[in-house]
Structure 1
Amino acid sequence: MSAPSLGARAFSSPRELTRVGERLSFVYLERCVVHRDAHAITAEDAEGTTHIPSATIGTLLLGPGTRITHQAMSVLGECGAGVVWVGEEGVRYYAGGRALTRSSTLVEAQATAWANRRTRLSVARAMYRLRFPDEDPSGLTRHELLGREGTRVKACYRRESARTGVPWHGRHYTPGDFASGDAPNQAVTAAAQCMYGIAHAVVAALGCAPGLGFVHSGHELSFVLDIADLYKTEIGIPVAFDAAAEGTEDIGARTRRALRDAVNRTGLLDRCVSDIKGLLGADGVERTTCEGDKVTLQSDRGVEVDSGRNYDVEGQTW
Structure 2
Amino acid sequence: MPEIPGAKPVPLPQLTRAADRLTFVYLEHCVVHRDANAITARDARGTVHIPAATLGALLLGPGTSVSQQAMVLLAESGSTAVWVGEHGVRYYAHGRTLTQSSRLLERQAELVTNRNSRLRVARQMYAMRFPGEDVSGLTMQQLRGREGARVRRLYRSHAERTGVEWDRRDYDTTDFEGGSPVNQALSAANTSLYGVVHAVIVALGCAPGLGFVHTGHIRSFVYDIADLYKADITLPIAFDIAARGASDIGAETRRAVRDAMKDGKFLETCVRDIQTLLTPDEDIEEYGPESFEDVVMLWDYNGRNVAGGVSYEE
Q: Distance in 1 between matches of 2:217 and 2:123?
A: 20
Residue aligning to 2:127: 129
Corresponding residue SS for 1:95: coil
The residue aligned with 1:311 is: 312
Cα separation, 1, equivalents of 2:199 and 2:114: 26
Match in the other structure for 1:3: none
- 1:85 maps to 2:86: no
Relative to structure 2, which stretch is displaced further, 163-172 or 262-271?
262-271
Map of 2:262 onto structure 1: 264
Name the structure 1 match of 2:235.
Answer: 237
Residue 5 of structure 2 is matched in structure 1 by none
Alignment CA distance shift 1:167-1:111 (3 Å): same
Cα drift, residue 152 of structure 1:
0.6
Q: 1:91 to 1:207 in 2, by over 3 A?
A: farther
Distance in 2 between residues matched to 1:276 and 1:262, nearest whole Å: 20
Deviations 1:124-157 (A, max 9, x none): 1111122222322111111111110001101111
Amino acid at match of 1:105: R
Conserved? CA contact 2:23–2:258, under 8 Å: no
Tell me by how many angstroms 1:246 deviates.
Answer: 0.7
| TM value normalised by structure 2 | 0.80
Q: What does 1:1-318 align with in structure 2 at a 5 Å threshold?
A: 12=11, 14=13, 17=14, 20=17, 24-25=21-22, 28=25, 30=27, 31-37=30-36, 40-41=37-38, 43=40, 45=42, 56-57=53-54, 59=56, 61=58, 63-64=60-61, 65-70=64-69, 80-87=77-84, 93-247=91-245, 249-265=247-263, 267-281=265-279, 284-286=284-286, 291-312=292-313
- Whether the 8 Å CA contact 1:27–1:59 is kept in 2: the answer is yes
1:216-253 deviation per Cα after TM superposition (whole angstroms, max 9, x unaligned): 11222211111111111111111111111112633333
Query: Could you say what secondary structure the match of 1:219 adopts?
Result: coil
AA aligned to 2:92 is: Y
Rate the CA distance shift 1:170–1:99 in 2: closer, same or farther, 3 A: same
RMSD: 3.2
Distance in 1, Cα, partners of 2:242 & 2:173: 20
Aligned-partner SS, 2:169: coil
Deviation at 1:260, TM superposition (A): 2.0
- Of all paired residues, the percent bearing the same amino acid is 45
Cα separation, 2, equivalents of 1:27 and 1:239: 17
Give the drift of 1:90: 11
Cα separation, 1, equivalents of 2:94 and 2:274: 18
Asked whether the 8 Å contact 2:238–2:253 carries over to 1, the reply is yes
Contact 2:211 2:220 in 1 (8 A): yes
Q: Which amino acid in the other structure matches residue 181 of structure 1?
A: G
Which consecutive residues of structure 2, in runs of 5 or more, have no partner in the other structure? 1-7
TM-score (norm 1): 0.79
**Paired letter, 1:34:** H
Tell me the CA shift for residue 18 of structure 1.
5.7
- What is the number of residues matched between the two proteins? 298
Asked if structure 2 preserves the Cα contact closer than 8 Å seen for 1:126 and 1:279, the reply is: yes
